[in-house]
Amino acid sequence: MTDASVSWLTQDAYDRLAGELSTLSTTGREEIVKRIEAAREEGDLKENGGYHAAKDEQGKIEARIRQLTELLKHAEVGEAPESHGVVEPGTVITAKIAGDESVFLIGNREIAGDSELDVYSEQSPLGAAILGLKVGDTTSYTAPNGREIAVEVTDVETWSGR
């Protein structure tokens, strides 16, 4: 997974996202077109709040369709990688970040679904800094605000879908 455009997904996450894409591409589009048509029939479009709200929602739906299409097209689907104490996409990390313990998943936020777990992309400053590190390794990364933040990896677990 050296290509930054490739995202690792579990089969469950892939299926869930493919279902969402299918729904948005069919009934989602049909429903928003009906709402736009109904709002158009109300008259003056400049001052028609329902029309503008429906057009905004249409833009959001189309953006989500493009996002899901691209994600699924470049997804690497499989089981969560078995943890060997090395930080890699699809693992749950426990780390001391600036002295505070934090538990999070490395990968695409779509993997986590409804989980309460924080998710950091492999391309995020934190994700990029710790990718490939082993339990006990320390490093630092530069936060978007320019501050240098120390990190110590204290545990790496297999993602269980929790």
Can you tell me which residue has the tokens 């249409």? Answer: 58
For the chain, what is the radius of gyration of the CA atoms? 20
| DSSP label at residue 86 | B
| CATH 3.50.50.60 correct for 91-158 | no
Q: What is the structure's pLDDT at 89?
A: 86
d(CA 30, CA 93) in angstroms, rounded, equals: 42
Q: Which fold has domain 7-77?
A: Helix Hairpins (1.10.287)
Q: What is the structure's pLDDT at 5?
A: 60
Q: What is the structure's pLDDT at 1?
A: 38
Q: What is the structure's pLDDT at 128?
A: 93
Query: Is the model's pTM score more than 0.75?
Result: no
Could you give phi then psi for residue 141, rounded to 5 degrees? Answer: -140, 160
Residues 6+ apart with CB under 8 A from 120: 104, 105, 106, 126, 127
d(CA 92, CA 114) in angstroms, rounded, equals: 15
- Low-confidence residues of the chain: pLDDT under 70: 1-6, 162
d(CA 41, CA 143) in angstroms, rounded, equals: 50
Q: What is the structure's pLDDT at 43?
A: 76
Q: What is the structure's pLDDT at 2?
A: 40
The CA dihedral of 88, 90, 91, 94, to the nearest 10 degrees, is 100
Kindly report, residue by residue over 104-145, the tens digit of the pLDDT: 999 888 877 777 889 998 889 999 999 999 999 999 999 889
Q: What is the structure's pLDDT at 162?
A: 55
Domain residue extents for the chain: 7-77, 91-158
Can you tell me which residue has the tokens 């579990």? Answer: 10
Q: What is the structure's pLDDT at 9?
A: 83
d(CA 17, CA 100) in angstroms, rounded, equals: 33
Q: Are 93 and 131 in contact (CB under 8 A)?
A: no
